[in-house]
Amino acid sequence: MTDYRNPPWHYEQIFSSLSDVEDIGWGKRLTHLPEAWKSSRGAGVTVAVLDTGCQLDHPDLKGQILGAKDFSGSAYGPDDQQGHGTHCAGIIAAINDEHGAVGVAPDLGKPIPSNFSDYTTHRTYIERGGLYIGKVLGDNGLGAHEKIARGINWSVEQKVDIISMSLGGGGTSRVMTEAIDQAIKAGVFVICAAGNDGSDVSVNYPASLDQTIAVAAIGESAVVAEYSSRGPEVDIAAPGSKILSTFINGGYAHLSGTSMATPFVAGVAALIVSKHKRAGEVSSTPVSNQEQLREHMTRHAIDLGKEGFDCETGYGLINPVGLLNKTKPEDDKIDVERLKELLSEALSIVEDSTDGTATG
């Protein structure tokens, strides 16, 4: 039986509180998320995080969790003992309360207001969204493919919009592939981490499946992270190094890995889904299935590295503003040197992390 695991992520720095760190993070600044939030903040969308569980009572996830279930057999139930799942959940949905971390889709747990064009207008509400936490990896970070498949099937039963999986391994699994296929057939978007094995090892399964959306990580230099797995299966890249998010014991941490880039993309997908869910909105670019989402993301991606598609970053950096505002792709193109300039500006106001790292 093959064990699946979180890609080997890296601890950068852990905080018991963030009284001195209230910045939204370099990745969100680089991708201009504050501008994207003018169009959508993810209200009314449901996302399943299949991982090591979550600290369900973390202050920054208050009101964002709709349900949780343990598939690993842990004595702690769905409660996270590692921190990895809590970190991924926060990247997607940590609330914007002017304290601590803030997620890519901070309004996930709020209902969708119908027939409105901005967040200052209050109208009829349709439904609230939030996170479903599936603990499919045990307290040692490992999980059998049958348990992960059960988590996928459970997510579909909850009628989630998106499944985020920052896990993977070698080989393939018939039962997991069938579960993923059924999820996609049901209209669920399935987003997976490419892996943290660097250039010498191919993209991990299940990100290696053609039907999933495989996510690579970029570092603070605005190029592919050294650890990010390469391969023709990579679709899109997102910030993955020294990402600030929620952590166990009510804390926060900077972690690095494609594990962090994956929920970033899932959060952007939530922004898109929320906008398309609004009552009365007619879109010229429907995003109702996995292939439409992939096409939408890759068409608006900001090209990185080699011109066009490459095995390191796929079609390029995720572009929330272009996706939400239907900006022409050519208008979104900026060169890597400009990206570095923007990044330098963002980093100048972020507290420096410690130099040492430890592999998790």
Using DSSP, state whether 246 is helix, strand or coil: strand
Amino acid symbol at 98: E
Contact 196, 260 (CB under 8 A): no
200: exposed, middle or buried (Cβ count in 10 Å: 0-12, 13-18, 19+)? exposed
Using DSSP, state whether 236 is helix, strand or coil: strand
Q: 340-345: long-range contacts (C-beta < 8 A, 24 or more apart)?
A: 340/221, 340/222, 342/29, 342/30, 343/26, 343/29, 343/30, 343/220, 343/221, 343/222, 345/29
| Short-list 332, 306, 331, CA closest to 318 | 332
Q: Hey, which residues are catalytic here?
A: 51, 84, 259
- Residues with Cβ within 8 Å of 68's Cβ and at least 6 positions away in sequence, in order, are 53, 54, 56, 77, 78, 132, 133, 134, 135
Edge-to-edge strands, sheet with 65-70: 65-70, 130-135, 46-51, 162-165, 189-193, 213-218, 234-239
52: exposed, middle or buried (Cβ count in 10 Å: 0-12, 13-18, 19+)? buried
Q: Which helix (H) or strand (E) holds 70?
A: strand 65-70
HSE-CB at 29 with a 13 A cutoff on CA atoms is 20
| Short-list 275, 258, 186, 188, CA closest to 224 | 258
Provide the 8-state DSSP code for 351.
P
Angle at CA of residue 88, ends 83 and 1, nearest 5°: 75
